[in-house]
Structure 1
Amino acid sequence: MDRSENTDKPTIEPYDEPTGGWGSVKSLVEKSSQEGLLASTVWATMQRQNKPDGYQCVSCSWAKPADPKPFEYCENGAKATMWEITPKRCDRDFFARHRVSELLEWTDHDLEKQGRLTTPMKYERSLDQYVPIKWEDAFREIGEELNQLDPASVVFYVSGRASLEASHMWQLFARIYGSNNLPDSSNMCHESTSVGLPESIGSPVGTVTLEDFDACDMMFFFGHNTGTNAPRLLHWVQKARKRGAPVITFNPLHERGLMRFKSPQNPLEMISPDAGTKMSSDYYQLKVGGDVAAMTGIAKAIFALDDAAKESGGKRVLDTRFIEEHCHGFDEFEAFVRAADWEQIARCSGVPRDELEHVARTYSKAERVIANYGMGLTQHRHGIENVQMLVNLLLMRGMMGKEGAGISPIRGHSNVQGQRTVGITEKLKLIPVDKFEEFYGFTVPKEDGLDTVKACEGMLDGSVKGFVCLGGNFARAIPDTGRMEEAWRKMRLNVQISTKLNRNHLLTCEKTYILPCLGRLERDTQNGVDQVVSVEDSTACIHASYGKSEPASRELLSEPKIVAELAKATVPGRSTVPWDEWIADYGLVRDAIERAYPVDFCDFNQRMGTPGGFHRDIGACRREWRTETKKANFLTPESFDVDPDIDTTSQDVLKLITVRSNDQFNTTVYGYDDRLRGVKGTRMVILMNVEDMRRLGLTDQDRVDIETYADDGVTRRVEDYRVHEWQLPKGNCAGYYPELNALIPLWHHSRRAHVPAAKSVPVRIIKRAAG
């Protein structure tokens, strides 16, 4: 079976419809039918999605309003729910019918489409099959294996879906065992934010809430495909546009969500013949990696406007009082911007000077501005500098710590931000070490652990021997896929706590286990009492989540229960953590979280059911700067070059951007169609600028191979992709994640944050011989 196609004749045609609208409705009806779900089941479940007394969406982490609409979910969120409540089962009979070597030939989509895992399984090498194992035997054997390994050689990964309760327990288990190796999803997407924002404003997360979106009079968007990655945000963008607020977007790709939108929440819009709301007042297709240059141009034009205001005696454009009272490093930043050459700015950004000056004029008239960004900023060699330069733009005009203004990193998975809040990190400085040791009577290892990149390096050099995974599809999310899959199999232990079958389960080691868990939507009953979990959204609000659906199997255990049993089997008597008491009442876990983090989680159990969630204590929201200077810092970039270590001047080298389709969320692929780009039946497509195609002797639908351009002695290549003409800046191309992760060298990452630089990968396109 072709790895990323499901039809004999894939098609790529223009799609001119708005995001949302009837296209979303039709897609959901089709997906429900494909999953074999009854309409009544889907409707009853969806009515509880993102509601104060319901469950929090297992898809993106966008904010949940206090006063939700009847349909408080987006197309991708609904698909994620259908994917979880599917009646299909990947049970012991399935594993008895299929060898692992056979399943390795299946696509990611087809693996997950088998349905929910139901039974704990152990890989039997002599059979090349998974066989059932009793829970108590699995916990005992895993504990024995872990205790034969050096804790420094074991990685404890956690995906962005795990609850705050499970995440806090997970990191305690790892540290009691003796490991700080706690990489997570943030390492692969927003670590540039987690490193960059604290240096700039003293907060690792954004400063805006939904109330700010209702009050803003302008928005920036940099490097985010909102229509696919956080569609519910489009409702707030649409409201801003309808009240006349400019929305200025910078993205190398035209993305439908920030072009046109029809709200499925609005019956009048749905029946209207018009094309929906124009979402971006201005849309600029800058070059890949041109963000710092573009922002420097805007800043340079702001200084010019401020100079003119001073000369004429008009109102200053710079917020000089804010800068003087609250900021550090302004003089160096101003010198850098004033010295920047307009010709270089335009060349590096791909945006002409007059257009950047237009943006500056628009910005200069606004009073309350929110700057939104996604992985188009963070996944670069200089991802931290990208983030900090956007903060600089806001600081120039005092757009931080005031109503309707601030920085808004749009995070990915539903609780990826919250896991950091409760201790999922390899960095000791981010956790209350003394409290953990005092509360639970154990010694936290005193060296930082491994992040994602270092964990992968450890697999390659053989120093990592065990991988214990709380959710996710790590092997597909990481770069350098070919090398990493080969290295993975050389480990001793592979433990996967999962709801669905994925590639990680098929990369078998000496000892490999699948531990199936409850999903967030399902009823979690402990000692006869239904339990509640919690998550944090991307606006730093904490929400309760109530699972009420019937479990997919009676054999399933909850994530907290699995964590507790693993800890009891592995580290008995090595701490005073009351694992059994915590499992009997998750409220006690929340009490423990509040005890460790009293400021953010004051009255946790009492406030967790607050409609709209309760907001964490983010000092920058009230102009309290928790930085070394005790000020908000202007941090000056070194240059405009986002890939300083790779020569991409050769005429046949393009910069590749990896993107997600409309029919996926993160590594989960729901289908082979990308409606918003008009791609149907395939993911093996490379989108190219027409001038680049002509220069390389290519025409639409030609078949090509794609090869990484890097002088490190490693061949990285994907084969038999379809070329398609697309509106992209010259020198840039785009294709789908995670398939194209195989082209990203492990060392090609943010210099300090170690985020894979997936938005600027140097590649060559090689035409295949006819036939």
Structure 2
Amino acid sequence: MADDLPRTPAPRHSPVGHDAGTPEYGGPTGGWGSLEGIAKALGEAQPSPDALRTLWRQNKTKGVMCTSCAWAKPAQPHLFEFCENGAKATVWEMTRKRVGPEFFAKHSAEELKTWPDHDLEAAGRLTHPMRFNHATGHWEETTWPEAYAEIGRELTEIGPEASVFYSSGHAGLETSYLYALFARAFGHMNLPQSSNMCHETTSVNLASTIGVPVGTCTLDDFEHCDAIFFFGQNTGSNSPRFLHQLQAAVERGCRIVTFNPVRERGLIEFASPQNAKQMTVGPTTKISEAFYQVRPGGDVAVLAGMMKRIFAAEAERPGEVLDHAFIAEHTEGLEEMQAAVEAAPWEEIERESGLTRAMIEDAAEVYLSARNVIGIYGMGLTQHVNGWLNLGMLVNLLLLRGNIGRRGAGISPVRGHSNVQGQRTVGIGEKPKHMPAEKLEELFGIDVPTEEGMNVVAASQGILDGKVKALISLGGNLVRALPDRERMEGAFPTLRLSVSIATKLNRSHLVPGEVSYLLPCLGRTDEDIQASGPQAVSMEDSLSHIYGSIGHGTPPSEHLRSELAIVAGIAKETLPESPRLRWDEWTADYGLVRDLIAETFPEAFHDFNDRLFTPGGFYRGNAARERKWNTETGKATFTAPTMLSALGENTTGDERMTLITLRSNDQFNTTIYGYSDRLRGLKGDRMVLLLNQDEIERLGLTEGQRVALVCALDDGVIRRVEGLAVTPYDLPPGCVAGYYPELNPLVPLSYHEKNSQTPAYKGTPVRLEV
């Protein structure tokens, strides 16, 4: 598991520097290791000849926008504008392997349940619409008209209140808009989305503090910032193309400080595969000048400590530290926040953060020395019970010196899936505000429901309670992505109707409801030909830019239909006929859907079709970037800390530890490309439990010993994962780590961020059992 690294006695854990004797990748992020990873993926996926042409055009104007992460696509792209993960996603989708009727005739659902996640998706692309036969236990071929007709009849009989339309972050803006319209025309807003499980903390809490549900930065800001602070984001594995902007920033003098429980290589060292010198004899680029291994949930304490030092500096140099003019004009709540921060004792700050006062004050000095500061974060900040406070404290830090709404400064959540932010922008979401009812009534003559719909947690609870009877999944692998996975997987077969729109087979397809369909769709890399000719789709990146994407690959089967065509086909069979719901026309020409998006959201999407292929994407705007605060009071709001940890309570028993779930370097969300976690120096078995060597000795364990992990929350449900191999790793005391989704069964559905209901995957209390 540890690449045969030599074992030497490890020192007591230090929050800076790697612990000797535990696995670590010795090379930089990028470099030859990245190229080797791509070569391995090419060998296993056996992609079509179109794959190399697609990669050449990936993330370039009129090319394919990557199906992996949501990082920005520059107006002047590199020669190769893709990373290791993006290349894996492309060749994985463009495999020559096929999963059709013959495959399903040979393999029953029960047999396929024994296959690992990797093997299910590695089997190849789906080729035919399939209906599940409970009598035989096999998926069997059907026709599109039969599928649409029965799905429509079932939805009509079940009704809107018991129906849920889920979406992963893959589908383009055009499909997403029609999906959201379909739900509202049907009579519900039960539109849970993958964002509910990762960045919904941002959507809810950032909106309440600065008035926008997304970050405020653009690529230009990274060319003008003086310092960047990272919290809980693993750039090397989750958004590697971002490293080019970070490398350029460091080389012109920008200072980067990182806080993360895990020493992730992407924020330590980078060698650009685009740079021949770095790939041969040249030195690599050191990214973070300081990397602090904060305890899980301890970001609140870190930020409180930094602000204590900033307030002290203001007292030493009155009027020279804080941006008083900005604070007076644009903010409220400073006095209450400052009083709470200054009252926080340093002993408690050190205990909750796992860092020393000197470390935190050193980080604050970096902040004080910089004119323009960007705060970047990932799910390490959002997936906590008190994620609202994590985020509020980071906003506090930036507001103190006017670092929101100025060039080279801002707050920047790094989204995961390629269009997860864009789907919300065009209406996928459970709240009425996600789509203007008046405009929909004007355009389509429908009565838009007024009651808030179900998010992921509510929909999941509805499935457990038997209240949800129909589930349409537009992409994704919901069974594997959900918390409380064993309970949820056991409940999925109780659904009356389950429909999955997918490119590949996954675990969710093996727990069919009473009536179940598996509908194969075109991937983004596939050429999409409709009645009016070749079609383009669009998506939004993490920085609020919109891009057009054109697939040029040969579809794996003539039986595939586009995601948009499938949504329209189901809607047409479900809803009463209306001359204003022109499903066939919209399927024939996606440009007509973009016109509808522009009419519905004119401020962001005016002249949509004309701007579709703007190099670098077109910017849809951001009020907070213009210092217009769409909050209840019209001002940005400081958050007073009520505690110094983002972790929750309600635990039981002694020896509890905090679980953080991780994704490997060979993984994207629930898709497992392989078993190498190269950037952590790990490989092979995914059923591992990482903890530091002092904890292993304290608990009387040995390396390689198989143990069980049990959820320590006292809610009457036993949640347990067995067979985890004890693996020494450089982690803070009291912390254990393991892979997502394997450890999802340990996270209760009810254990989530309090305002957004984002599952607490980065802060669940657990106990080890031998």
TM-score (norm 1): 0.96
Q: Offset of 1:379 from its aligned partner?
A: 0.2
| Residue 639 (1) aligns with residue 643 (2) | yes
The 1-side partners of 2:232 and 2:399 are apart by 20
Q: Offset of 1:703 from its aligned partner?
A: 1.2
1:300 aligned residue: 308
Does the Cα contact within 8 Å between 2:75 and 2:616 map onto a contact in 1?
yes
Name the aligned partner's letter for residue 179 of structure 1: H
Deviations 1:46-73 (A, max 9, x none): 1011001201000000000000011101
Mapping of residues 123-272 of structure 1, within 5 Å: 123-272=132-281
Deviations 1:432-464 (A, max 9, x none): 011111211111122110000000100111101
Match of 1:710 among 710, 713, 733: 713
The 2-side partners of 1:644 and 1:550 are apart by 50
For residue 494 of structure 2, give the secondary structure of its aligned residue in structure 1.
coil
The 1-side partners of 2:95 and 2:182 are apart by 32
Does the Cα contact within 8 Å between 1:523 and 1:548 map onto a contact in 2?
yes
| Residue 558 (1) aligns with residue 562 (2) | yes
Q: Which moved more, 1:674-683 or 1:180-189?
A: 674-683
Mapping of residues 677-716 of structure 1, within 5 Å: 677-716=680-719
| Residue 665 (1) aligns with residue 660 (2) | no
The 2-side partners of 1:720 and 1:12 are apart by 21
Indicate how the Cα distance of structure 1 residues 689 and 523 shifts in structure 2: closer, same or farther if over 3 A, else same.
same
| Residue 320 (1) aligns with residue 324 (2) | yes
| Residue 739 (1) aligns with residue 742 (2) | yes
| Residue 91 (1) aligns with residue 94 (2) | no
The 2-side partners of 1:164 and 1:688 are apart by 42
The 2-side partners of 1:728 and 1:44 are apart by 42
Does the Cα contact within 8 Å between 2:651 and 2:712 map onto a contact in 1?
no
Q: Offset of 1:42 from its aligned partner?
A: 3.6
Name the aligned partner's letter for residue 79 of structure 2: P
| Residue 21 (1) aligns with residue 24 (2) | no
Does the Cα contact within 8 Å between 1:36 and 1:87 map onto a contact in 2?
yes
| Residue 754 (1) aligns with residue 757 (2) | yes
1:288 aligned residue: 296
TM-score (norm 2): 0.96
Does the Cα contact within 8 Å between 1:662 and 1:673 map onto a contact in 2?
yes
Q: Offset of 1:12 from its aligned partner?
A: 8.8
The 2-side partners of 1:709 and 1:510 are apart by 35
1:546 aligned residue: 550
Q: Offset of 1:430 from its aligned partner?
A: 2.6
Match of 2:630 among 623, 626, 630: 626
2:486 aligned residue: 482
Name the aligned partner's letter for residue 478 of structure 1: L
Indicate how the Cα distance of structure 1 residues 595 and 715 shifts in structure 2: closer, same or farther if over 3 A, else same.
same
For residue 599 of structure 1, give the secondary structure of its aligned residue in structure 2.
helix
The 1-side partners of 2:748 and 2:158 are apart by 29
Match of 2:584 among 572, 580, 585: 580
2:727 aligned residue: 724
Name the aligned partner's letter for residue 441 of structure 2: E
2:12 aligned residue: none
Match of 2:442 among 411, 422, 438: 438
| Residue 595 (1) aligns with residue 605 (2) | no
Does the Cα contact within 8 Å between 2:185 and 2:575 map onto a contact in 1?
yes
Indicate how the Cα distance of structure 1 residues 14 and 349 shifts in structure 2: closer, same or farther if over 3 A, else same.
closer
Does the Cα contact within 8 Å between 1:442 and 1:574 map onto a contact in 2?
no
| Residue 610 (1) aligns with residue 614 (2) | yes
| Residue 68 (1) aligns with residue 72 (2) | no
1:376 aligned residue: 380
Deviations 1:523-579 (A, max 9, x none): 111115001110000000000001111111111000111111101111032572211
Q: Offset of 1:273 from its aligned partner?
A: 5.8
The 1-side partners of 2:207 and 2:641 are apart by 16
Does the Cα contact within 8 Å between 1:497 and 1:516 map onto a contact in 2?
yes
| Residue 390 (1) aligns with residue 398 (2) | no
The 1-side partners of 2:579 and 2:296 are apart by 50
The 2-side partners of 1:477 and 1:618 are apart by 30
2:14 aligned residue: none
Does the Cα contact within 8 Å between 1:705 and 1:721 map onto a contact in 2?
yes
| Residue 766 (1) aligns with residue 769 (2) | yes
Match of 2:111 among 87, 91, 102: 102
Deviations 1:227-270 (A, max 9, x none): 00111111111111111211000001110100111111111110
Does the Cα contact within 8 Å between 1:652 and 1:696 map onto a contact in 2?
no
Q: Offset of 1:150 from its aligned partner?
A: 2.5
The 1-side partners of 2:200 and 2:579 are apart by 31
Name the aligned partner's letter for residue 195 of structure 2: S
| Residue 402 (1) aligns with residue 410 (2) | no
Q: Offset of 1:429 from its aligned partner?
A: 2.5
Number of corresponding residues: 752
Q: Offset of 1:641 from its aligned partner?
A: 3.3
Indicate how the Cα distance of structure 1 residues 136 and 534 shifts in structure 2: closer, same or farther if over 3 A, else same.
same
Q: Offset of 1:471 from its aligned partner?
A: 0.4
Deviations 1:680-717 (A, max 9, x none): 11111111021211111112111111111121221111
For residue 567 of structure 1, give the secondary structure of its aligned residue in structure 2.
helix
The 2-side partners of 1:169 and 1:204 are apart by 22
Q: Offset of 1:617 from its aligned partner?
A: 1.9
Does the Cα contact within 8 Å between 2:538 and 2:547 map onto a contact in 1?
yes
For residue 721 of structure 1, give the secondary structure of its aligned residue in structure 2.
strand
2:56 aligned residue: 47
**Overall identity of the aligned pairs, in %:** 52
The 2-side partners of 1:718 and 1:600 are apart by 46
Name the aligned partner's letter for residue 218 of structure 1: A
Name the aligned partner's letter for residue 699 of structure 1: T
Does the Cα contact within 8 Å between 2:198 and 2:758 map onto a contact in 1?
yes
The 2-side partners of 1:424 and 1:710 are apart by 32
The 2-side partners of 1:305 and 1:12 are apart by 39
RMSD, matched Cα = 1.5
| Residue 279 (1) aligns with residue 287 (2) | yes
Unaligned runs of 5+ in 1: 6-10
| Residue 517 (1) aligns with residue 527 (2) | no
The 1-side partners of 2:348 and 2:286 are apart by 32
Q: Offset of 1:639 from its aligned partner?
A: 1.2
